[in-house]
Structure 1
Amino acid sequence: METILTPAAIFAGTLFLVIRRPWNLNTGVSALLGALLALLAGSITLVDVESVIGIVWDATLALVAIMVISTLLEQAGFFRWAALHLARRAGGSGRGLFVAVILLATAVSAFFTNDATVLIVTPIVLEMVEALGFGHQALLPFAMACGFMADAMSIPLAVSNLTNMIVVRYFDLSFARFALMMLLPSLACLGVTTLVLLGYYRREIPRRVDASGLGEPAAAIRDPFLFRVGVAVVCGMILAFLFNRTAFHVPTSAIMTIGAVLLLLAALRNRVVEPWPAIRRAPWHVVAFALGMYLVVFALGKAGLTGMVAGLLQGLTARGLGVTVLGTGLLVALLSAGVNNLPGVLIGTLAVAATGAAGAIGEGMVMATVIGADIGPKLTPIGSLATLMWLHILEGRGLSVSWGRYLRTALVITPPVLLATLGALWAALRLMN
């Protein structure tokens, strides 16, 4: 009992610092302090630190590269251009605009990670709906759409979320196989989430909007050359991911780093936008937060949490594919909601590997782990760093969402989306195997 008390206390203290941010403490610094305390207390060793880095280095470097790419594209005006196009296509319908925001958040989460949706798309969408003259009551549905879709729709691709990258690297999954297996779950997630959000906010969303005053999408492009290079780089990276596992076996981070360097060179070509200030403003604390929280919860895992989760998962494997997929997804979802999805997916991944499950059962557990770690965190405000940053952004704009209000909303929206997505995964596994 004493063994687990120390890492549990360190985890609780770290989580307190991350949530409350005393002395305006950076979340990355808080997580690293927790990791250092775990090391000094003997809950983890330098060998453990090396093991964790060995698991997460590729995903972490890939996150750094995608942050540079998304920051430069934002400076070029790419995301604002996309937002204005979608707003105009809504045809004056409030619900049409709401669906357009959902689609924009989905696309950005899929190709540029959930953090990019929160940090870049949320402010753009809020500015857009404020320019349309929406009141405070009508702003919240659009803000919630960005915040919820950021994590929920980060399941389609291996690069959509740091959690996905960790699972893909650990189990050596191909980009194409991952995308194929997640196609049906992604469509189910998008469809059910859209319906649930529309139903939940049906009274707050205005019936009609006048988008004529938003300006032309082309006017949002600040650097046409960087814009064109950015589109080419993103398309090139997707192709590289598709062929990488079968032909080259290059780390994901290497492909993304090449893309980031090409975009940086394009930005430096004529300096229409200054890249360095934008890159300095990028949320680098996310990297420190991820590494620190991995180590803090790894200490919990060593003390028995991983073994306990593995035992529960092992018991599911004898009950058939459907029960295994549902049980794994729900267990990882609850774990991620309780301890944050970055360390949650690490524990879940190690636990799934410990079961030794193979074939359709093994693949189902791996994919259900991703779904649970991406959608499950929406149950609580602490479930993902993206949600914590989203709440901070809203507070800075005078749109405060209390924990009580968040939980009431999340407990209505998240369960049906999670269950539908896991059900679609089960159907995909049956079709593919």
Structure 2
Amino acid sequence: ASLPLIVSNLVNIVSADFFGLGFTEYASVMVPVDIAAIIATLVMLHLFFRKDIPPTYDLALLKAPAKAIKDLATFRTGWIVLILLLVGFFVLEPLGIPVSAIAAVGAVILFAVAKRGHAINTGKVLRGAPWQIVIFSLGMYLVVYGLRNAGLTEYLSGVLNVLADKGLWAATFGTGFLTAFLSSLMNNMPTVLVCALSIDGSTATGVI
């Protein structure tokens, strides 16, 4: 459901930044795609697991929602920050303020509230953050540009040009299968970077 949001994952961030897509523009394109993906997922889940889904369940077996909240102040602040973030993304990003800056402000506010409450071990949160993703990203860029220098993106650009010459459907399905195949070989993140460079180097423009 977070597919229309640029900040939902690193792939979205890199893709939108590479092609110069703003938060609103990206969301407007991806909302219909997101709706289709949600519907397809729910339909398939229902078809496969409909026999395992109980028609009713005993509410008494569920814990009280209040017991799941360790820090009420952080919980309430989180909702406020979430709303302000969405407003900020749509309103401030078109004014030239980076999405990263808006998200950073929200994170700092939420972290400060959590630290003041002492119910959440903020030090442990910082230590447990996946900082290795930064090193991974830097290494990935080196590998991708190495593949470009080796001629991979030039070859893929040629393939994309052939697909584009055959029309919209061939370009759409061909590109989809190509990226799916590459993702199965080397993960989706480097595939996105390789394909972005390949698209940039191809002669295809606009809507085919």
Q: Normalising to structure 2: TM-score of the pair?
A: 0.90
Q: Match for residue 93 of structure 1?
A: none
Given the alignment, which residue of 170, 180, 184 partners 1:333? 180
CA distance in 1, matches of 2:88, 2:55: 43
Residue 253 of structure 1 deviates from its aligned partner by: 1.7
CA distance in 2, matches of 1:230, 1:336: 34
Q: Match for residue 213 of structure 1?
A: 61
Q: Match for residue 204 of structure 2?
A: 357
Q: Match for residue 223 of structure 1?
A: 71
CA distance in 2, matches of 1:320, 1:235: 42
Given the alignment, which residue of 272, 286, 301 partners 2:119? 272
Q: Match for residue 244 of structure 1?
A: 92
* Deviation sequence 1:403-425 (CA, Å, 0-9, x none): xxxxxxxxxxxxxxxxxxxxxxx
Q: Match for residue 151 of structure 2?
A: 304
Residue 349 of structure 1 deviates from its aligned partner by: 0.7
| Structure 1 stretches lacking a partner, 5+ long | 1-105, 111-154, 362-433
Given the alignment, which residue of 22, 29, 33 partners 1:174? 22
- The percentage of aligned residue pairs carrying the same residue is 38
* Deviation sequence 1:239-267 (CA, Å, 0-9, x none): 121123421x2222211111111111111
**Mapping of 1:404-419 within 5 angstroms?**
none
Q: Do the aligned partners of 1:163 and 1:345 also contact (CA within 8 Å) in 2?
A: yes
| Structure 2 stretches lacking a partner, 5+ long | none
CA distance in 1, matches of 2:91, 2:18: 19
Residue 223 of structure 1 deviates from its aligned partner by: 1.2
**CA 1:207–1:338: 2 relative to 1, 3 Å:** farther
Give the structure with the larger helix fraction. Answer: 1
CA distance in 2, matches of 1:206, 1:288: 45
* Deviation sequence 1:189-219 (CA, Å, 0-9, x none): 0111111122223444445433422212122
Q: Match for residue 412 of structure 1?
A: none
Q: Secondary structure at the match of 2:6?
A: coil
Aligned length: 208
**CA 1:301–1:210: 2 relative to 1, 3 Å:** farther
**2:40 pairs with 1:192:** yes
Q: Do the aligned partners of 1:229 and 1:263 also contact (CA within 8 Å) in 2?
A: yes
* Coordinate RMSD, CA, aligned: 2.0
1:309 counterpart letter in structure 2: L
Q: Do the aligned partners of 2:140 and 2:190 also contact (CA within 8 Å) in 1?
A: yes
Q: Match for residue 316 of structure 1?
A: 163
Of structures 1 and 2, the one scoring higher in RCO (CA 8 A, sep 6+) is 1
1:240 counterpart letter in structure 2: G
Residue 327 of structure 1 deviates from its aligned partner by: 2.0
Q: Do the aligned partners of 1:294 and 1:342 also contact (CA within 8 Å) in 2?
A: no
**2:129 pairs with 1:282:** yes
**CA 1:259–1:300: 2 relative to 1, 3 Å:** same
CA distance in 2, matches of 1:214, 1:291: 45
Q: Do the aligned partners of 1:157 and 1:178 also contact (CA within 8 Å) in 2?
A: yes
1:235 counterpart letter in structure 2: I
Q: Do the aligned partners of 1:298 and 1:343 also contact (CA within 8 Å) in 2?
A: no
**CA 1:197–1:295: 2 relative to 1, 3 Å:** farther
CA distance in 2, matches of 1:302, 1:212: 62
